[in-house]
C-alpha cells in the first residue's frame, strides 16, 4: 500500500511538473513575439488613452516575469531590473489555482468559457481520427503480418510509407478537391452535418494509421513465432481465432503504448487540420483568436487544456496497458 501511494504521488508530481513547464515555455515564447496586444486588439486607430486603459485593465503595464533586460538603443547601456513576485507570470498562476483562466483580451469573455465551447469539437475530431486510424491499421497490419514477404505485404508496406510521408496540409486540400469540389459528397469546410467530420478525421488519422499498420505488422510477425500459437493450432483452433483472439491481443500491447503517445500528435495535428477545414475547435481558436490577436490568456488557456488532455490520455493508456499485460499488474 505504501509503495502504491508513493508511486501515485510521484506520478502526480511529474504531471504537475509537465503542465507547469509547458505553460511556462509557451508564456515565455509568446512574450518574445514582437507586437503589442493592445494595438493588435484595438487596432492602429486606437488613441494613446485607449491603449493605456487597455494595458491597465489586463495588467499589461506590469512586468511579464521576475526580471527584465533591455539595451538602450542610443547609449547601448544594459538595463537589468529585478521585479520579484510583482509580475504577470505569478498573477496568472495565482488565478489558475483559484480555478480562473482569466479573460480574453479581444472579447473580454472568460477564457474557460471560450475553450469549453470549442473543446468538444477538438476531442470529437481526435477520437474519430483515432478510430479511423485503428480501423485501417489493425486489419492491414494483420494481413501484412500473416503474409510476410509476399507481394501483398510489400504493397501494404508501400501504402503505409506513403501515408507516413504525406503531410496533412497536402492530404487535406487533396481530399477537399476530390470529395467536396469534384464529387460534391461533403462540404469543403465547417461543422454542420455529422458527415462533415469524415474528411478532417481521415486527414488527421492517415499518418497515424500508416504508423500503426507497421506496428501491428511487426507485432503479429513476432507473436506468430511464439509457443502459445503452436499450442493453439495443435488444439484445432481456426487460423482466424488464433490470430484475432490470441496473437492480436498480445500484439496490441506495444500498439496501445504508441496510441497513448500519439494522442499528443493528434492534438497538435488537429491545429493544422482545423485550420484547413475551418473546424471550430481549439486549434482554430488558438491560431486565429489567440496567436493571431496576441491574446496571451487565450493562448495560455488553450495550451493548458491540451496539456492536461494529453496527460490524461497517457494515464489512461497506462491503465489499459496494465490490463492487457498481466505481468505489469503482478510487478
What is the tens place of the pLDDT at every residue in 66-87? 776 666 556 656 666 776 777 7
Q: Do 140 and 231 belong to one domain?
A: yes
Q: Do 167 and 289 belong to one domain?
A: yes
C-alpha torsion 183→189→192→196, nearest 10: 50
For residue 152, pLDDT over 60 is answered with: yes
Residue 1: give the domain boundaries. 1-32
In a domain, 84, yes or no: no
Quote the pLDDT of residue 114. Answer: 92
Average pLDDT on 296-319 reads: 82
In a domain, 68, yes or no: no
For residue 304, pLDDT over 50 is answered with: yes
How big is the chain by its Cα radius of gyration, in Å?
Answer: 25
Q: Do 132 and 26 belong to one domain?
A: no
180 or 246, which is more confident: 180
Q: Do 14 and 121 belong to one domain?
A: no
For 204-257, the pLDDT digits (tens) are: 888 888 888 888 888 888 777 777 777 777 777 777 777 777 777 777 777 777
For residue 25, pLDDT over 80 is answered with: yes
In a domain, 102, yes or no: no
For 74-103, letters b (16+ CB in 10 Å) and e give eeeeeeeeebeeebbbeebeeebeeeebbb
Quote the pLDDT of residue 75. Answer: 60
How far apart (Å, rounded) are the C-alpha atoms in residues 307 and 185? 35
Quote the pLDDT of residue 329. Answer: 47
In a domain, 224, yes or no: yes
How far apart (Å, rounded) are the C-alpha atoms in residues 183 and 199? 13
Q: What global pTM score does this model have?
A: 0.80
How far apart (Å, rounded) are the C-alpha atoms in residues 309 and 261? 12
Q: Do 127 and 26 belong to one domain?
A: no
Q: Do 10 and 138 belong to one domain?
A: no
In a domain, 71, yes or no: no
Domain of 283: which CATH number?
1.10.3720.10
For residue 330, pLDDT over 50 is answered with: no
- The share of the chain scoring above pLDDT 90, in percent, equals 5
How far apart (Å, rounded) are the C-alpha atoms in residues 73 and 225? 71
In a domain, 101, yes or no: no
pLDDT confidence band for 45 (50 / 70 / 90): confident
Average pLDDT on 122-134 reads: 89
For residue 92, pLDDT over 80 is answered with: yes
Average pLDDT on 126-142 reads: 88
Q: Per-residue DSSP letters for 122-141?
A: HHHHHHHHHHHHHHHHHHHH
Q: Do 203 and 300 belong to one domain?
A: yes
For residue 298, pLDDT over 80 is answered with: yes
Least confident of 114-118, 175-179, 232-236, 326-330: 326-330
How far apart (Å, rounded) are the C-alpha atoms in residues 298 and 290? 5
60 or 326, which is more confident: 60
Quote the pLDDT of residue 82. Answer: 73
Q: Do 218 and 309 belong to one domain?
A: yes
Q: Do 130 and 27 belong to one domain?
A: no
For residue 327, pLDDT over 60 is answered with: no
For residue 166, pLDDT over 60 is answered with: yes
Q: Do 20 and 151 belong to one domain?
A: no
In a domain, 72, yes or no: no
Overall domain count for the chain: 2
Quote the pLDDT of residue 2. Answer: 67
SS3 of residue 74 by DSSP: coil
Quote the pLDDT of residue 11. Answer: 76
Q: What is the DSSP letter of 288?
A: I
In a domain, 65, yes or no: no
Quote the pLDDT of residue 234. Answer: 78
**Average pLDDT, rounded, for the chain:** 80
Q: Do 124 and 220 belong to one domain?
A: yes
Average pLDDT on 44-59 reads: 83
Q: Do 151 and 264 belong to one domain?
A: yes
Amino acid at each position: 500500500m505504501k509503495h502504491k501511494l508513493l508511486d501515485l504521488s510521484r506520478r502526480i508530481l511529474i504531471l504537475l511538473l509537465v503542465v507547469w513547464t509547458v505553460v511556462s515555455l509557451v508564456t515565455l515564447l509568446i512574450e518574445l513575439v514582437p507586437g503589442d496586444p493592445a494595438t493588435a486588439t484595438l487596432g492602429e486607430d486606437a488613441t494613446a488613452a485607449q491603449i493605456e486603459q487597455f494595458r491597465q485593465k489586463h495588467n499589461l503595464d506590469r512586468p511579464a516575469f521576475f526580471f527584465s533586460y533591455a539595451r538602450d538603443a542610443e547609449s547601448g547601456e544594459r538595463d537589468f531590473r529585478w521585479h520579484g513576485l510583482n509580475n504577470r507570470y505569478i498573477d496568472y498562476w495565482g488565478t489558475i489555482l483559484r480555478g480562473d483562466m482569466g479573460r480574453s483580451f479581444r472579447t473580454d469573455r472568460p477564457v474557460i468559457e471560450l475553450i469549453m465551447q470549442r473543446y468538444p469539437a477538438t476531442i470529437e475530431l481526435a477520437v474519430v481520427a483515432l478510430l479511423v486510424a485503428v480501423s485501417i491499421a489493425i486489419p492491414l497490419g494483420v494481413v501484412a503480418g500473416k503474409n510476410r514477404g509476399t507481394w501483398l505485404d510489400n504493397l501494404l508496406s508501400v501504402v503505409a510509407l506513403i501515408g507516413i510521408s504525406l503531410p496533412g496540409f497536402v492530404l487535406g486540400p487533396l481530399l477537399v478537391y476530390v470529395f467536396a469540389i469534384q464529387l460534391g459528397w461533403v462540404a469543403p469546410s465547417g461543422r454542420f452535418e455529422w458527415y462533415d467530420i469524415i474528411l478532417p478525421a481521415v486527414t488527421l488519422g492517415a499518418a497515424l494509421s500508416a504508423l500503426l499498420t507497421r506496428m501491428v505488422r511487426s507485432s503479429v510477425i513476432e507473436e506468430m513465432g511464439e509457443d502459445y500459437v503452436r499450442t493453439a493450432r495443435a488444439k484445432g483452433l481456426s487460423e482466424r481465432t488464433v490470430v484475432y483472439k490470441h496473437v492480436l491481443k498480445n500484439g496490441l500491447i506495444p500498439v496501445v503504448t504508441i496510441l497513448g503517445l500519439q494522442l499528443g500528435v493528434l492534438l497538435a495535428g488537429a491545429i493544422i487540420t482545423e485550420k484547413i477545414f475551418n473546424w471550430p475547435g481549439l486549434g482554430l481558436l488558438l491560431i486565429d483568436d489567440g496567436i493571431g490577436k496576441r491574446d496571451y490568456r487565450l493562448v495560455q488557456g488553450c495550451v493548458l487544456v491540451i496539456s492536461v488532455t494529453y496527460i490524461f490520455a497517457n494515464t489512461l493508456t497506462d491503465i489499459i496497458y496494465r490490463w492487457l499485460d498481466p505481468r505489469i499488474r503482478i510487478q
